[in-house]
Amino acid sequence: MPTLPFTIDAELLRELGERLVGKPHIALAELIKNSYDADATEVTIKFLPNADRIEIIDNGHGMTFEEFKNFWMRIGTTHKKEKRQSKNLERPMTGSKGVGRLAVQFLAGSLTIQTVSEDESRKWLKAQVDWERAMKVKELTEVEVSYNEYDRDLSSPPFPQGTMIFLNGLKDEWNEDSISNLASEVWWLQPPFRSSPSADDSKDLFKIHFQSTHRDYTTTFVKQMNAIKSIWIARLVGVLNNGKVTFSLQFVGEQPIVHKYKIADFIHNNGGFRKTKNLNSCRFEIRIYNLSGRQKFGIKVSEAREYFRNHGGVHVYDGGFRLPYYGLSESDWLKLEYDHSHRQNVSKLLPEEIQVFRALNDLPTLGRVLGFVDVNTSNEPNLKIMITRDRLAETIAYEDLVKTIRYALDWYANESARRKIQEKEVSPEPASLKFERVEQVLEEYEPEIPKKVYQKIYKKVQEATIAAKKDQELALEQMGLFAPLATAGISALSYQHELKKQFAYIEDTIDRMAKIETVNPELQKNLQSLGAGLASWLKRAKATNLLFDYIADTENTLQQNLRARPVIEEITDQTSFLARGTEIDYSQIDDRLRLPKASFAEWGAIFQNVFINAFTAMLDSPKRQLHISFRPHEKFQEILIQDTGHGINLRDADKFFEPFQRASKVSAERKALGYGGTGLGLTIVRLLANNIGCRVQFVEPERGFKTAFSIRWRKDK
């Protein structure tokens, strides 16, 4: 059978260019990206609308004739996609489809390329495309590009190395919006701070210069290119001079806050008293960002996050040359990611008297920071650069540098946490006042509302106002209760911390008593008895102290959907010394059951109080059994805690949730055994449960039990 080859209409040039790229500013951006892929460290855009011309000039590796023929002249080539990285600097390639160059056909009527390759020392190339003429050719394969290859001996190239592109006969009218859109396409190619020409730094070194006869165009381009540096939420600027650091912290839209400290201050805080000056000077600037939600200047969040992955962190410059190691996510030289992963929330550098509770929770991660630090090892006898020239040696002076910068970041986190606390302290308008304003508006429009409708609405608004006032009164009562509870909690943690020190002293005392030998048998016996008694007391005291351990652990304050069974198991272990032989059964709790979102500390307080109440109620019972089970329902989940104690009257059960109310009196003898309290246990349980979104109450017990305590929550919790 005879065969026919496919033919390709030259109109495909227009279709490919316009459909795949679409807009003039994107087409021009593709040419700038080509310069980046060619390992250029600088590219200049000359925008000359009066001359009807745009020029793009770079200092990349250029093209040989063979490269021009095989890659530039071949439509749809995938060599960039296959290579993945640029030829010399191993940059990730920005192009992959091989059609970006065709997009310029709707930018201008003609294209001229002059290129000088680093690999061809004796020749350079000039090529021209007349797009208007190309569009008139029937077949795409008949479109021709004229070129000349020049010998360096006979003709000097226009520049030592790189590529120059001339776009003549512009087809579109450009304005400030177009220029801004162009910058929006290429801003991420340029590093955030100034770059140095050192060999180690060249991979990230890429500077885009913009020149135009229209001054407004230049201003617009530069503003958009630098937009990422202006959307910070906080900025730290500091100088170390002669052991003293002065820096300012500025939150966006506010005046800077100036703070001063000495290197000796944080040396002292770390337990040292070193007086020698190991670091003379440095300066730094760190900008902190919030890369979520809509950003200013049309910056896409996805692009910004990718940019921070490539350029984020705090970089170090030695005499103007960037040390490549610093700023990489794997280096984490300031231990920002380390402290986040280890849930460190207390600064080791800031004075204790200014620290805010859990302030380091506001410490920024590397993905939210752009910053630089300037040092000069030639002026720092104690600051050494390693032989690899990529980092500083870890001397004492280097430690001082790390602490200088980290102190400033800790101070930012502390101030950020303080602001959040202050914002929470601002009391919102009570709901009752809002309802009262609704009543006033309703009365104003009474003549325009049908009488029956008005009366019905007014009645409901009044009911809501009364309910809101009752809620306010209850909230105030609870707030009054929270203050002493919070104080007691902090005191308990301090007491626990101090007790651990005393336990160590008692253990040492017991050991010393055991080693005492005497010829008096009676005295030896008494010493052994006293040692055994102390050991027994110590064991019980440690068990009691464990009740507060989960509060002191930062991890236990995180909000999460915990599995019910491990929580119940741990709390029963903690309270076992009060169980006095009680049989505890939680086998019916499914290991997959998840509790509503809350911290372990909150759930620990709930179960601990309920369990201890049950142990107290079973003191005089012949059978002591605590049964914890799960009961699924159609719309809610329920954990039931039942005991064989003295039981309660369900008609009076609700009053036991009020402060200082007890279900039964506890004798002095029982209190001496560790039972009984102030009557606040169930009050705390209900307050915590309400906050979590659970309902707690006493319910009818199952057969064989005297008391049943229910914890319920909706299935969607």
User: Is it the case that residue 210 has pLDDT exceeding 90?
Assistant: yes
The answer to whether position 6 is within a domain reads no
The two structure tokens encoding residue 643: 């005991």
Q: How far apart are CA 204 and CA 324, in angstroms?
A: 10
pLDDT at 61 over 60: yes
**Within a 10 A sphere around the Cβ of 149, how many other Cβ atoms?**
13
Phi, psi for residue 165 in degrees, rounded to 5: -120, 130
- Segment 52-65 mean pLDDT: 92
* H-run or E-run covering 46: strand 42-48
Q: In what order do the strands lie in the sheet with 146-151?
A: 146-151, 123-130, 108-116, 162-170, 53-58, 42-48, 207-212
What pLDDT, on the 0 to 100 scale, is given for residue 513? 78
Within 8 A by CB and 6+ apart from 157, the residues are: 114, 116, 124, 150
Count, residues in the chain: 717
Q: 451 and 387, same structural domain?
A: no
CB 468 within 8 A of CB 435: yes
> 689 with 695: CB under 8 angstroms?
yes
* Residue 7: inside a domain: no
Q: What are phi and psi of 178, to 5 degrees?
A: -65, -40
Indicate if 36 and 184 belong to the same structural domain: yes
Are 540 and 560 in a shared domain?
no
Number of domains the chain is built from: 4
Whether residues 439 and 416 fall in one domain: no
- Check whether residue 495 and residue 623 sit in a common domain: no
Q: What CATH number should be reported for the domain holding residue 569? A: 3.30.565.10
Q: How far apart are CA 27 and CA 228, in angstroms?
A: 23
Shared domain check, 535 and 436:
yes
Asked whether residue 526 is domain-assigned, the answer is yes
SS3 of 189, please?
helix
Owning domain of residue 703: 553-714
pLDDT computed for residue 682 by the predictor = 83
**Does residue 398 lie within any of the structural domains?**
yes
Of the pLDDT bands very low, low, confident and very high (cuts 50, 70, 90), residue 640 is: very high
376 domain residue, yes or no:
yes
Q: Which helix (H) or strand (E) holds 162?
A: strand 162-170
- List 710's β-bridge partners, or say none: 640, 697
Average pLDDT over residues 564-590: 86
> Tokens representing 499?
């007790």
Q: Assess whether 212 and 250 both reside in one domain.
A: no
Query: Does residue 335 lie within any of the structural domains?
Result: yes
Q: How many CB atoms lie within 10 A of CB 144?
A: 11
Q: Are 696 and 685 in contact (CB under 8 A)?
A: yes
The highest-confidence range among 200-204, 235-239, 560-564, by mean pLDDT, is 235-239
Write the DSSP symbol of residue 71: I
Nearest Cα neighbor of 367 from 326, 414, 310, 315 is: 310
Mean pLDDT rounded to a whole number for the chain: 80
Residue 258's SS3 state is strand
Nearest Cα residue to 282 out of 392, 201, 182, 172: 392
Asked whether residue 5 is domain-assigned, the answer is no
The per-residue b/e assignment along 490-504, b for 16 or more CB within 10 angstroms, e otherwise, is eeeeeebeebeeeee
Tell me the range of 379-388, 570-579, 674-683 where mean pLDDT is highest: 379-388
196 pLDDT higher than 50: no
Mean pLDDT computed over 554-574: 79
One domain, residues 411 and 451: no
Domain boundary residue, one of 408, 425, 442? 425
Residue 351 lies in a domain: yes
Angle formed at CA 404 by CA 401 and CA 405, multiple of 5 degrees: 90
pLDDT band at 554 (very low <50, low <70, confident <90, very high): very low
Q: Report the C-alpha gap between 188 and 227 in whole angstroms.
A: 10
Q: What pLDDT sits at residue 271?
A: 56
Q: Last residue of some domain: 194, 225, 256?
A: 225
Residues 238 and 97 in one domain: no
pLDDT in tens, 380-428: 989 988 887 788 999 989 999 999 999 999 999 999 999 988 876 655 5
Residues 185, 191, 192, 196, CA torsion sign: negative
Residue 141's pLDDT is what? 64
Separation of alpha carbons 269 and 263, rounded Å: 10
Q: Is the pLDDT of residue 74 over 80?
A: no
Please indicate, yes or no, whether residues 199 and 259 belong to a single structural domain of this protein. Answer: no
Of 495, 516, 544, which one is at a domain's C-terminal end?
Answer: 544
Q: What is the pLDDT of residue 654?
A: 83
Higher model confidence: residue 650 or residue 472?
A: 650
Question: Which of 6-15, 342-351, 466-475 has maximum average pLDDT?
Answer: 342-351
Strand partners, 421: none
Burial of 34 (0-12, 13-18, 19+ CB in 10 A): buried
Reported as a single tens digit per residue, the pLDDT across 230-280 is 899 999 999 999 889 999 999 998 999 999 988 776 665 565 555 556 888
372 and 327 together in one domain:
yes
More confident residue, 140 or 697: 697
Q: How confident is the model at residue 209 (pLDDT cuts 50, 70, 90)?
A: very high
Closest Cα to residue 674, out of 540, 551, 583, 542?
A: 540
Distance CA 208, CA 426 (A): 47
Same-domain pairing of 360 and 504: no
Token representation of residue 333: 């030289």
